[in-house]
Structure 1
Amino acid sequence: MKMLRLPRAKVQVGLPLPWNVRDEQCLLLLSKGHVIESEHQLELLLQRGAFVDVEEIRALAREAEPAQPKAIVSPPNLFDLWDRTTDELHKLLGEVAQQPDFAARLDQFARHLVELVDLGADIAIYRIVRQDNAKNFYYGYYHSVHTATLCVLMARHLEWPPDRMMSLVKAALTMNLTVLDLQGQMAGQDVPMKDKQREAIRRHPAQAVELLEKVGVADADWLTAIAQHHERPDGSGYPLGCTELDELAVALRVADVFMAKISPRALREALSPQVAIRELYREDKGGPISTAIIKEFGIYPPGDFVRLASGELGLVVQRTGNARAPIVASITDTAGHAVARTLRHDTGQSEFAIVANVTDKAMLMRLPPERLYGFSAAPPV
């Protein structure tokens, strides 16, 4: 123990001692916190010989140093994380038969997707709605991820148990297992489906189930949902034309069809969410599954391009308790000129109410979504 003579200037009468005080032999005289009540008492202590442990003085000095400002940590760029899911799914589904641990890896991927939804459901919906720059040859993989995302939102709204939700999500990711590349080819062609393509599409539910069983998938809910996801209650579906359908299969079909309606292809433009929702509600006769999608999306879902009463154009970025009044991030001024600084508006206020959807999407093609949500743009890969 290295000792230093007690500095007179550091002791204040009437205040607690900041350290222990010892004699020359290191024996304790006064404990830390003891109050010296008079100048006379202090003089007697100093005359006797008072010392302090150097390490105690250093420790007190460290405590008195101003706290260093915490490093600013940027929030994770969820758009970058979401974009990676397509490549990850492509690698995972590319050679299913050669992966003895496929079921476990697919389960891990599905849980990661659910975590991304939980980190930002509004961003998940934004990606579903905004597909302006989607590549046709990857259509099958985008579609699988988007449909699985919608299934998470739908199952959560319906308050399904986690295991049941996971079976549905994994079915969405693998329902088109044997035609993923064909889907990309068809999305990019400017002619209707050919007979050979139609036949492959009709066979794919049974083929997907067969392949999944070969690699060890034994979840009956997962497999049944895939086997029946193109069947319809009136018997007009395929491949078997059955009418007694599993609830998960019905949910998967509804999510699959809805996503196909709002996804662009070379042969046709995507339907707006509003039109697709009206068609969905009519086809499902207002059932609980279509209602769940409608409730999750709202009238103006995140990603919707709208005009405000102020004259500004903007993108919906956040749902609120009012389905007709989401939060919108403006990308123009009141005259319709592009602006560098994004402002958020509560469309529940009359001056910023939504007055119309905007159909001309040209100015969105180069708009980084990170700007709207406050993320740093992802670095080039």
Structure 2
Amino acid sequence: MKLLRLPRSKVRLGEPLPWNVRDESTRLLLSRGHIVESEEQLDALLTRGAFVDIEEARAVAHLADLAEKERANISALKRPENLFSLWDQSAEEMYKLMAKLPEAPPSLVQLTDFATRLIDLVDQDVDMALYHMVRQESAHLYYYGYNHAIHASVLCLLMARRLQWPQARILSLVHAALTMNMPILQLQGVMAEQDEPMRESQKTQIHAHPELAVQWLTEAGVTDGDWLTAIAQHHEHADGNGYPQGRTDLTDLAVALRVADVFTSKISPRKLRAALPIQEAARQLFREDHGGPLSSAVIKEFGLYPPGEVVKLSSGEIGIVMRRTDSVKCPLVAAITDDKGHPTVHTVQRDTSQAQYAIVGPVADKTLVARMPPERIYGYQQLAPASTQDAGKLPHRPA
């Protein structure tokens, strides 16, 4: 029998001993389960010389480790990581990514890693990505800039895919959307929370941010010309009335980036104004783009009633759109009230292609859904295993 001297820290007063305690000659002093009641008793025991069998100590430590792992597994079952939590965490993760600006911009590897994980998250459930963009009542305005960058990136991804752009251009556009506002990310949160119009000092910072973002990214090692040019030009207009240089010869990526930037800004709430209804934002975009391919791609991607939209059904029920279908007018809806408009405990899925559940129109009053968790709408959405993510991607909807 090999003995190990008993450390004082291993004995918990008032709790049963997990092993036998022996003296130096292996004679039993205290049996397993004995309770040491006081510091005086423990002092006397250690002074006499207290040891435990090293094999017995290892066995107890192994059982304790198994118990801890079991507790961790139980905790994970109670609060498993899921798509909802990852979307909720995305703004905080981007905040940490940009935390050392301007002294230490994130590296190209870090930016690419974040963009890749964001694309993977979108591909697990595109409808949920759109839901996250539409339902922003619970988003903290302090993170406005970070959420806006994420939403613009998602829209760029979906828009460019629908237009069947090459993969390299899509990635350049997504990277540009994530980084276009790097110099004003915190300022955007401040402005979202303020109850007064833009100040002159803020206007100066905003006017300078495209060129400053390009400078920071170049210093961080970014050499992708499409990425950098899109950022430099994303506030320019074809009529020459944009900034910072009043250019008219804009790249396709710059125009697409501006469309995503403006559209996602309009549908995002601030303290000074509410979010613009999706339908009105789409109408404005269509007019400004003269019904071009970019506005058409955005409108087709969101549909007439995108996930997250609150609608009234012909049955009298109020519901939340949860999934698009092949018909832009007939999404799948989760009813959250009965036919009298009274809130219900459980949601019921309604197929709005059926006449009795057809959508009458959007509901302006969003009070019922202001704090409703997406789990109530979708049920629990667990992450797909990494090896099956590609197989689980939603098919591309036809134009």
- Flag whether TM exceeds 0.5 (same fold): yes
Distance 1:188 1:110 in 2: 27
Q: Find out whether 1:351 has 2:370 as its counterpart.
A: no
Q: Which residue of 1 aligns with 2:293?
A: 288
Q: Which residue of 2 aligns with 1:364?
A: 369
Aligned residue type for 1:333: D
Q: Deviations over 1:16-36 (max 9, x none)?
A: xxxxxxxxxxxxxxxxxxxxx
User: Residue 79 of structure 1: CA displacement?
Assistant: 1.2
CA 1:137–1:73 in structure 2 vs 1: closer, same or farther (change >3 Å)? closer
Q: Which residue of 1 aligns with 2:273?
A: 268
Aligned residue type for 2:127: D
Q: Which residue of 1 aligns with 2:117?
A: 112
Q: Find out whether 1:244 has 2:246 as its counterpart.
A: no
Q: Find out whether 1:185 has 2:211 as its counterpart.
A: no
CA 1:111–1:329 in structure 2 vs 1: closer, same or farther (change >3 Å)? same
CA 1:73–1:137 in structure 2 vs 1: closer, same or farther (change >3 Å)? closer
User: Residue 226 of structure 1: CA displacement?
Assistant: 0.4
Distance 1:131 1:369 in 2: 11
5 Å-filtered alignment, 1:155-194, equals: 155-194=160-199
Q: Deviations over 1:243-275 (max 9, x none)?
A: 000100000000000011111111111110000
Distance 1:172 1:231 in 2: 15
User: Residue 366 of structure 1: CA displacement?
Assistant: 2.2
User: Residue 100 of structure 1: CA displacement?
Assistant: 8.0
Q: Find out whether 1:81 has 2:98 as its counterpart.
A: no
Give the match's secondary structure for 2:183.
Answer: coil
Q: Which residue of 1 aligns with 2:310?
A: 305
Unaligned runs of 5+ residues in structure 1 are 1-71
Aligned residue type for 2:303: G
Q: Which residue of 1 aligns with 2:67?
A: none
Give the match's secondary structure for 2:348.
Answer: strand
| Aligned sequence identity (%) | 53
CA 1:319–1:76 in structure 2 vs 1: closer, same or farther (change >3 Å)? farther
TM-score normalized with structure 1 length: 0.78
Distance 1:376 1:233 in 2: 43
Give the match's secondary structure for 1:340.
Answer: strand
Give the match's secondary structure for 1:178.
Answer: helix
Give the match's secondary structure for 2:308.
Answer: coil
Unaligned runs of 5+ residues in structure 2 are 1-76, 384-399
Give the match's secondary structure for 1:310.
Answer: coil
Q: Which residue of 2 aligns with 1:143?
A: 148
Aligned residue type for 1:128: M
User: Residue 125 of structure 1: CA displacement?
Assistant: 0.4
Q: Of the two, which has the highest radius of gyration?
A: 1
CA 1:99–1:194 in structure 2 vs 1: closer, same or farther (change >3 Å)? closer
Aligned residue type for 1:190: D
**Contact 2:98–2:106 (Cα < 8 Å) also in 1:** no
Give the match's secondary structure for 1:324.
Answer: coil
**Contact 1:308–1:314 (Cα < 8 Å) also in 2:** yes
Give the match's secondary structure for 1:122.
Answer: helix
Distance 2:201 2:79 in 1: 50
Q: Find out whether 1:337 has 2:342 as its counterpart.
A: yes
CA 1:366–1:74 in structure 2 vs 1: closer, same or farther (change >3 Å)? closer
Q: Deviations over 1:282-326 (max 9, x none)?
A: 001111111100010010000000010001110000000100110
**Contact 1:325–1:346 (Cα < 8 Å) also in 2:** yes
User: Residue 77 of structure 1: CA displacement?
Assistant: 2.0
Distance 1:341 1:171 in 2: 41
**Contact 1:76–1:375 (Cα < 8 Å) also in 2:** no
Distance 1:265 1:202 in 2: 20
TM-score normalized with structure 2 length: 0.74
**Contact 1:74–1:375 (Cα < 8 Å) also in 2:** no
Q: Which moves more between the two structures, 309-318 or 91-100? A: 91-100
Q: Which residue of 2 aligns with 1:52?
A: none
Aligned residue type for 1:113: L
